Amino acid sequence: LAKTTQPISMDSYEGQEVNITCSHNNIATNDYITWYQQFPSQGPRFIIQGYKTKVTNEVASLFIPADRKSSTLSLPRVSLSDTAVYYCLVGDFSGNTGKLIFGQGTTLQVKP
């Protein structure tokens, strides 16, 4: 099973771009990379998912290099409300043998 490694915590200021990198050296061919956001006392919320290269949606971008052994979640111009825990997941769901591993996540603190 592919495990992930992320920084435990990061600090930023309002209006800055934040990049959170996740390492997943044992990623398998069929694995996708997914990022979730979690606020205290709530369930996680999906941010973005990708397989390779770059994916962008209305809230974030996901950069995946060619070897796929890492990925970077980019949050443009963060605000105080982006203070949360961010999880990188790597999972394979081919043939009903899928597992999803949440790591400890990265606690992002956005300061005014």
Partner 1 sequence: NAGVTQTPKFQVLKTGQSMTLQCAQDMNHNSMYWYRQDPGMGLRLIYYSASEGTTDKGEVPNGYNVSRLNKREFSLRLESAAPSQTSVYFCASSDTLGNEQFFGPGTRLTVL
Evaluate whether 37 touches 44 at the Cβ level (below 8 Å). Answer: yes
C-beta closer to partner 1: residue 17 or 100: 100
Which two structure tokens, joined as six digits, stand for 105? 């996540």
Please identify which residue in the block is written with the tokens 């973005």.
Answer: 48
C-beta closer to partner 1: residue 13 or 100: 100
Shortest Å distance, C-beta 87 to partner 1: 6
Which two structure tokens, joined as six digits, stand for 2? 């592919």
Q: Contact between 7 and partner 1 (CB under 8 A)?
A: no
User: Of residues 46-105, which lie at the interface with partner 1 (CB under 8 A)?
Assistant: 46, 49, 87, 91-93, 96, 98-105
C-beta closer to partner 1: residue 52 or 77: 52
Q: For the purposes of burial, counting CB atoms within 10 Å of the CB of 103, is it exposed (0-12), middle (13-18) or buried (19 or more)? A: middle
